Structure 1
Amino acid sequence: MAPHRLLLLGALPLALALPRASFPRAPGNSSSSAAPSHVTPAPVVPYSSSQAHTSFAGTPTTTGALSETPIGPGASSLPANPAATTYPSDGELHSPEPGPYTPAGGVGTNGTTPVYRPQSDFDYESLALALYQEYIELDLFHDGLARFSAQDFEAAGLTAEDRSLIEFMADQEVGHATMLTNILGAEAPRQCSYVYPYTTVHEFLDFCQKLTRFGESGVYGFLPHLDSRESAALLTLSITTEARQQMIFRQFEGLFPMPVWFEAGVPQSWAWTLLAPYISSCPEDQTRLAWQNFPALSILNQPNPVRINGSAAWNETVSSGTNVLNSTAVPSSQSCLSSNTTGIDCSPAITHNRTNPLSYPGREVQLSWEVPGKAVGPNNSYVTSTSAGRPKYVAWVTQLNVTYSELTLNGSQSGSTIQPDVATYAGDPAINGTMFIAILDTDLYVTPFNITMLNPHVVAGPALYQSG
């Protein structure tokens, strides 16, 4: 892409870097113009929608996350900036307005020309992670459509129009990948090869709704911390589409579309831990990531949405981490897929209310987790690790809350805990929807803005808990 005035290195998204159209002037009126007859659309990134989905069988040439010599053990807890509490917040104006109807303050509001490119290593690595996510979604949606027949989808209650919607969501990912590639520049990650755990349409839908869940939440976790506010603005425009995709897949799965008041954000390493196991191999010299891969966490009694009583499930998943449901493990007499009874029916719909909740406060949750040191991710070139001490707590990361429950060990790599009874605000049970849990060595107090402070204390996880 040719440099654009003041915006170099191909950093401006193509959609914004098109040459300004020359509008023909209307006869007899030098100040008016007519719409252009044609504007050439910006090109998209190259991609394949028909690649193999097999496990990596070679030997990695590089091992471990991208790294540089650390200057210390990491950020330590500090008191709040005193200046953060000085604004009176009384509804009055306290500084001269820089322009009519424009209150003073804000970031990037002084007229400076926006530059859409990373401004730090944090920016680049965060946006590169988001691009890895967009590419797997692009491939995933195409793979489900190719792997299962029209009859398979129709048996699951999805019509040709529903399949067309999945195809359109794949097209959306082409745009998202193109935008991020143009921000990152020539060394941006490219499409990889992937391997998926599902074997049925229902498992495919469950995997999609869980992959889009951690993709969306992973961006929410870093979005407010980007140095490049311009890039954050564009990423916000794409992640709102991702949120709609996650809701659509919940509806396809017969789940209530939005059972929470707020969506949680999680650290980049949490999203990368959940994503990496499904990337088989990447092109040679692929841009590597700096984020940590934690040991995988399995929920042995993960609630199964295709059960009439979803919380009665035991060992009904086909993967760790995402803990995707196993649709063939449920006897027909206990399946809600063929029911048309209100409160039991879990066929695709705009919304369903379930008589039996998928989970509930006081439920005992059985867990097991891997030891660190496992090769995962592209070309088996990343290695799971942890710096945490003895496992003691389960962190429940949902909505605005990080809530802890005590972990009862019943082995070196297994244990149980009790689902907490906690609300975000009165009337909003905090533990609901597709949410995150992790094993920690301490019950550190954090908020949504500094949740990455948990990373040094993660023993295993995160895992996606299908609480509702």
Structure 2
Amino acid sequence: MSTSLLRSAIFLAAVGAVTAVPVVSEAQTTVSSSGPAGTPRPYSFVTSHGPFKGTPTTTGALSTTVLASAIPERPPPPGSFDYPANGKLNAPQPAPYTPDGGVGTNGSAPVYRVQSDFDYQSLALALYQEWIELDLFRWGLATFSKEEFDAYGINDEDRFLIEHMARQEIGHATVISNMLGPEAPKQCTYNYPVSNVPEFIDFNQKLTRWGESGVYGFLPHLNSGPAAQLLLQSITIEARQQMIFRQFGGTFAMPEWHTPGIPQSWAWTLLAPYISSCPYNQTRLVWQNFPSLNILNQPNPARINGSAVWNETTGGYANTLSTKDIDKDELCVNATETGENCKAAITHNRTVPLSYPGRQVFLNWDAPGKPVGPNNSYITSTNVKEPKFAAWVSQLNVTYSPLQNISLEDRTAYTIQPNVSTWQGDPAINGTMFLALTDTDLYVTPYNLTMINPHVAALAVYQAG
């Protein structure tokens, strides 16, 4: 064997035992192509703002022949308890790796459109919500200065995230509009109860909560499973937005273990007052507008001691926090101690809770008959003559507490925040939740919460945590 061949053999033998050394390599070519992109629905960057000052051309919710005064209570459908739930396959499989059952699983092509009046009115409500979010996020960025945001701990990158969330709403509004068809509601003009950055952030986290919860309430009841699928893939983004605005506001990111769903009439009640006017011949909604519930000592997340408050909201259904007349040393954004500071952050733990079991909650509610919503063309209404209970709607529970010291003349009362838990270690009354006044303590669950509507006197958002 020649010397050169021997050296080659030795080299190859050595190479087999050597581990390759990683190196950074750059692409020599880049292949790209632009695929088709969907066309978004027309929208304004920021609409005009302020209260409606005209005369409505029509009033009241959309209506047709009404068959009954309320939906009657019924037992569970026949066969609801027949399935053995034994961990085994109890029927033949329609295909490999596929269990028997399910809805929309037989191979039929999905049709992404509404299939009933219930579907149409529910998705139209969701679209009204998407349009206001698109405007609200951009309105705040255009209204408040860099310095105002910076002082609250919201920097350039945070503000870009708010702008990105506004762009997400373009996609949400477009997909819902496409499922509704040519009469889908269009963007409106709005009026926000906000005068500074803390109020803007708080209003956002409350508005996105009722938008999120409003969809959870009707999603499993839609006739169109395909429409529910697309809406689900939008509302999961809304849930993230709500948590982000809580983080921007310096509250604990997600204190609850479950997010409640609410009826469509609740979501519309909370949303409509902030819509000033809509285009002529705009699609109208069937949902009820309940009177407003004012929480006189609504917890204020802007304070170091957020529960020691009185009349510190900007009013209305959202009960948005107000920082007016609060001393600087009482604002948590100026605090330096851990447990007190509430500048924008991934999360904060408060030393002093916003609310707690046993807290006395003072209430004042509006009389029905007030014009609200787009063009002041919807009228608040209720069947209730005398409210008797506060219904705390949070997580998986509706918990009732009796109203005390009721004055029907002044429409005032107070109640005591209940001490209840969803699970051990999970206080039921927490996070951004809902408070209603009712005339009875009707037993309802997340799937049939709408049954409570005939008994609701007034409605609000409660900042429990």
Separation in 2 of the partners of 1:452 and 1:289?
16
Specify whether residues 36 and 101 from structure 1 end up closer, same or farther in structure 2 by C-alpha distance, changes over 3 A only. farther
Amino acid at match of 2:450: T
Distance 2:196 2:437 in 1: 30
Counterpart for residue 400 of structure 1: 396
Quote the residue 2:125 is aligned against: 129
- Report the RMSD for the aligned CA atoms in angstroms: 0.9
What is the aligned partner in structure 2 of residue 324 from structure 1? Answer: 320
* 1:65-102 CA distance string (max 9 Å, x none): 00011111221111112301010000000111000000
Could you tell me how far 1:234 is from its partner in structure 2? 0.5
Secondary structure in structure 1 of the residue aligned to 2:413: strand
The alpha carbon displacement at 1:335 in A equals 1.5
Q: 1:183 & 1:115 partners in 2: Cα distance?
A: 9
Which TM-score applies when normalising by structure 1?
0.91
Q: Does 1:422 align with 2:423?
A: no
2:462 alignment partner, one of 453, 460, 465 = 465
Contact kept, 8 Å, 1:391 with 1:459, in 2: the verdict is yes
Separation in 1 of the partners of 2:208 and 2:36? 32
Q: In the alignment, is the contact (CA less than 8 A) between 1:304 and 1:310 conserved in 2?
A: yes
Counterparts of 1:53-92 in structure 2, within 5 Å, are 53-92=49-88
Could you tell me which amino acid in structure 1 is paired with residue 443 of structure 2?
Y
The residue aligned with 2:113 is 117
| 1:307-336 deviation per Cα after TM superposition (whole angstroms, max 9, x unaligned) | 111000100000221100001232122211
Distance in 2 (alpha carbons) for counterparts of 1:467 and 1:38: 48
Q: Does residue 1:234 correspond to 2:222, yes or no?
A: no
Deviation at residue 350 of structure 1 after TM alignment = 0.3
Contact 2:93 2:100 in 1 (8 A): yes
Distance in 2 separating the partners of 1:269 and 1:51: 25
Rg larger in 1 or in 2? 2
SS at match of 2:287: coil
Give the 3-state SS of the residue equivalent to 1:329 in structure 2. Answer: coil
Instruction: Tell me the distance in 2 between the aligned counterparts of 1:340 and 1:177.
Output: 41
Of 374, 378, 383, 1:378 maps to 374
Alignment partner of 2:136 out of 136, 140, 146: 140
Residue from 271, 276, 282 that aligns with 1:280: 276
1:433 aligns with: 431
Cα deviation, 1:352-397, whole Å, max 9, x if unaligned, reads 0000000000000000000000000000000000012321000000
Which residue is equivalent to 1:451?
A: 449
Contact 2:329 2:335 in 1 (8 A): no
Letter of the structure 2 residue corresponding to residue 91 of structure 1: G
Deviations 1:33-64 (A, max 9, x none): xx983322110011111322011111000100
What is the aligned partner in structure 2 of residue 191 from structure 1?
187
Structure 1 residue corresponding to 2:349, chosen from 347, 353, 356: 353
Give % identity.
Answer: 62
Structure 1 segment 250-265 matched on structure 2, within 5 A: 250-265=246-261
Aligned twin of 1:11: none
Aligned-partner SS, 2:426: coil
The CA distance in 1 between the partners of 2:93 and 2:330, in whole Å, is 65
Per-residue deviation at 1:339?
Answer: 1.2
1:163 alignment counterpart: 159
Distance in 1, Cα, partners of 2:283 & 2:406: 41
Greater alpha carbon shift after TM alignment, 177-186 vs 48-57: 48-57
Give the count of matched residue pairs: 433
State the match for 1:10 in structure 2: none
Say if 2:371 and 2:377, in contact at 8 Å, map to a contact too.
Answer: yes
Matches of 1:340 and 1:48, distance apart in 2: 41
Work out the CA distance in 2 between the residues paired with 1:320 and 1:64. 20
Matched residue, 1:312: 308
SS across alignment from 2:173: helix
- Whether the 8 Å contact between 1:408 and 1:417 is mirrored in structure 2 is yes
Contact 1:438-1:458 at 8 Å conserved across structures? yes
Q: Residue 329 of structure 2: SS of its match in structure 1?
A: helix
Contact 2:361 2:416 in 1 (8 A): yes
Superposed CA deviations along residues 399-451 of structure 1, whole A, max 9, x for unmatched, are 00000000014422110000000000111000000000000000000000000
Name the residue aligned to 1:219.
215
2:338 matches 1:342? yes
* In 2: Cα distance, 1:275 partner to 1:38 partner: 39
Q: Which residue of 1 aligns with 2:365?
A: 369
Cα shift readout 1:141-184 (whole Å, capped 9, x = no counterpart): 00000000111111111110000000000000000000000000
Could you tell me how far apart the structure 1 residues matched to 2:320 and 2:335 are? 22
Structure 2: any 5+ residue segments left out of the alignment?
Answer: 1-30
TM-score (norm 2): 0.92
Structure 1: 5+ residue stretches without partners? 1-34
Equivalent position of 2:296 in the other structure: 300
Is residue 47–residue 188 contact of structure 2 (8 Å, CA) maintained in 1?
A: no
Match of 1:21 in 2: none
Structure 1 contact 389–457 (Cα < 8 Å) conserved: no
Cross-structure match for 2:267: 271
Residue 138 of structure 1 aligns to a residue whose secondary structure is helix
